[in-house]
Amino acid sequence: MRIKLAEFVISNSDVGKCPTEPIPEYAFIGRSNVGKSSLINMLTERKSLAKTSGKPGKTQLINHFRINKRWFLVDLPGYGYAKVSKKQKSTFQKFITDYFEKREQLVCAFVLIDIRHEPQKIDLEFMQWLGVNNIPFCIVFTKADKLKPKAAERHVRQYLDQMLESAWEETPPHFVTSATNSAGKEDLLAYIDNINQQVNIP
């Protein structure tokens, strides 16, 4: 699948105001500064569809983009060490939780993980929450170009092994990506396309 059309639709913090179109949507979320906006721009082949910034916490709303008039890509606020107030963080947490609990159109979440780092408690806890709430998700390892291929493979294997050693009986699907060289792009888009076909999106 190639993304030929990517249209910004709406930004808001109220799940009740999200688009009502009965088409599947895929949410992208991760710790602040994980490279989420860069990944979205790479997938859509748009340089500035999602706003990138060296300052963590740039995305502060639920952002809907209609893709090829067939599905929604949803850019959610990052979590973690974003330089925002405690009140703002509390607000983010509330509408992120509301989104995942109430959004019927959501078919899969993509949790972004910086491939260079060891498993972080906040990421593991968030994925555990998704699992407990029966929300389908995949792991998207970002910034693979920052490591040599064998090192990247080793980091991914160690990450998944640690998940299996904790509460997981099996690991979710995963993708290894780079916004710099477009690694993983075709595999990730093919995964989305396959789900769309299963839910009979023409």
The Cβ of residue 108 has, within 10 Å, a number of other Cβ atoms equal to 17
Number of domains within the chain: 1
Domain membership of residue 49 (yes or no) is yes
- Provide the pLDDT for residue 176: 98
- The yes-or-no verdict on residue 17 having pLDDT over 60 is yes
| Buried-state track 114-142, b at ≥16 Cβ within 10 A, e below 16 | bbeeebeeebbebbeebeeeebebbbbbb
Domain membership of residue 164 (yes or no) is yes
CA dist., res. 42 & res. 39, Å (int): 5
Where is pLDDT greater, at 80 or 32?
Answer: 32
Domain membership of residue 138 (yes or no) is yes
pTM for this model (two decimals): 0.90
Domain membership of residue 83 (yes or no) is yes
CB 78 within 8 A of CB 29: yes
- From the list 40, 30, 202, 57, the residue with the least C-alpha distance to 122 is 30
Mean pLDDT for the stretch of residues 124-143: 94
Domain membership of residue 139 (yes or no) is yes
The Cβ of residue 86 has, within 10 Å, a number of other Cβ atoms equal to 7
Question: What CATH number should be reported for the domain holding residue 145?
Answer: 3.40.50.300
Structural domain for 64, as ranges: 6-17+24-198
Mean pLDDT for the stretch of residues 181-196: 96
Mean pLDDT for the stretch of residues 148-152: 96
- Provide the pLDDT for residue 77: 82
* pLDDT band at 51; cut points 50, 70, 90: low
- Provide the pLDDT for residue 161: 94
Highest-scoring range by mean pLDDT, 9-13, 18-22, 138-142:
138-142
Domain membership of residue 1 (yes or no) is no
C-alpha dihedral, 7 to 12 to 13 to 19, nearest 10°? -60
Domain membership of residue 125 (yes or no) is yes
The Cβ of residue 145 has, within 10 Å, a number of other Cβ atoms equal to 16
Which token pair is 180? 């710099």
| pLDDT, tens digit (0-9, with 9 covering 90-100), for 58-116 | 457 889 999 999 999 999 987 765 555 565 555 557 778 889 999 999 999 999 999 99
Contacts (Cβ under 8 Å, ≥6 apart) of 26:
71, 72, 73, 74, 106, 107, 108, 109, 110, 192
Contacts (Cβ under 8 Å, ≥6 apart) of 183:
144, 145, 176, 177
Domain membership of residue 32 (yes or no) is yes
The least confident of 18-22, 24-28, 51-55, 139-143 is 51-55
| pLDDT, tens digit (0-9, with 9 covering 90-100), for 156-169 | 999 999 999 987 99
CB 32 within 8 A of CB 111: no
- Provide the pLDDT for residue 56: 42
CA dist., res. 100 & res. 135, Å (int): 8
Average pLDDT, the chain: 88
